[in-house]
Amino acid sequence: MIETAKRIAQVEEYYFSKKLAEVRSLDTPALRVINLGIGSPDLAPTKQVIDALASSAQLSTSHGYQSYKGVPQLRNAIKDFYNRIYHVQLDADTMILPLIGSKEGIMHITMAFVNEGDEALIPNPGYPTYSSVAKIAGAKIRAYDLMEEKDWAVDLEALRKSDLSKVKLMWVNYPNMPTGKTASHDELKALVDLAHAHHFLLINDNPYSLILNDTPRSILSVEGAEDVALELNSLSKSHNMAGWRLGWVAGKKEYIDAIVRVKSNMDSGMFLPLQLAAAEALKNNKEWFDALNNIYRERKKVVQQILDTLGCTYSNNQSGLFVWAKIPDAISDVEKWVDEILYGTKVFITPGFIFGDAGKCYVRIALCSPVETIQEALNRIKKFMNKEST
């Protein structure tokens, strides 16, 4: 057996990669598993998007290698999207880099800026990939806790009092996953000021800003952000295109150029029809997003009934594609409890510990199933809870 590289010694296989195989194994024709755990939109993009993909794919000229920096049509569509949604002006030629989903951008950014031994500030709870990629790069993880009693906000005072001299990157994610918290302009400005004061790169991961959120914001709208900040964004959640793997990073030219130096050695550009379809998707108007969010609001009502049935507590003021909730005090082991629900009802919800130890008393439910399916999950859980109480 050939020994694996030391860089992956501390990296586990992604939780959902393993767990979903277990969940699928429980599926039977008699009783289907209802997966409320993963945030994979079940709705389709617009007909215009699919038509753009299909028509371009018919052309013989669409199948060759593409530019490492994406085609002008896509970069200009991202530029227009940022101007329309966030009131941010970007240079399409120098400040935008399309990505094969923003998840790969987490790796590219880390590899472009982090040396072994540098520190990365990572939210707890937060998206697990921030930590995994930092470990692969040889960075030291500095978790900063997000706490319910502080409305899941970054404790800036605690950070200011700590030694940040070795910090190279800070990851933030607004609207936040898993907590659903949004950030005000003043909160984003305080983070930008902290990055300036301690000379580190601040990255906002921003795929949820158009989902159940009345005030979409970009960190690049903050004065002074361009010198210290980058922003990742994606069509996965907001445009129902998760499997298409389409995202981007935006920011200062010099930072984008550094990321290209990594990315251009890892892939050879995206399939042209995908890029043209993405450009079409970015034209979606307010009415389309309003209709999408109305669907999510109806789903959220039933998800909240599930959480009420389970005895969980939650904030009604959450944005994004999930509901984050605290488990009952009587439950000592969230993983065991979630498995009891899974095996007792064939309904899967996500245990919060996978997002960091600050999530060990929480669960997350996705809004990515039809209302009828979520209602069926509710009915099963009600029966399960009634059995448990008798």
Measured CA to CA, the distance from residue 185 to residue 217 in angstroms comes to 8
pLDDT for the residue 127: 96
DSSP state of 316: S
* C-beta separation of 367 from 240 below 8 A: no
3-state helix, strand, coil in the chain (%, to 5): 45, 15, 40
pLDDT for the residue 19: 80
pLDDT for the residue 389: 65
> Per-residue b/e over 128-156, b at no fewer than 16 CB within 10 Å?
bbbbbbbbbbebeebbbebeeeeebebee
> Helices (H), strands (E): how many in the chain?
12, 13
- pTM score: 0.94
CA distances in angstroms from 363 to 46, 100, 186, 344, 354, listed in the order given: 32, 29, 29, 17, 10
pLDDT in tens, 139-154: 999 999 999 999 999 9
- How buried is 117 (Cβ within 10 angstroms: 0-12 exposed, 13-18 middle, 19+ buried)? exposed
Give all domains of the chain, ordered by start, each with its CATH number.
6-44+286-389 (3.90.1150.10), 47-281 (3.40.640.10)
Listed in sequence order, the residues at least 6 apart from 279 whose beta carbon sits closer than 8 Å to its beta carbon are 52, 73, 74, 76, 77
Measured CA to CA, the distance from residue 276 to residue 53 in angstroms comes to 7
What residue ranges in the chain does DSSP mark as E strands? 34-35, 96-99, 119-124, 140-145, 167-172, 201-205, 229-234, 247-251, 313-314, 322-326, 347-348, 350-351, 362-366
Q: If the chain, 390 residues long, is cut into consecutive pieces of 10 residues, what is the mean pLDDT of each piece? A: 86 77 86 93 97 98 95 98 98 98 94 96 97 94 96 96 97 97 97 98 98 97 98 97 97 98 93 98 97 98 98 97 97 95 95 95 98 98 84
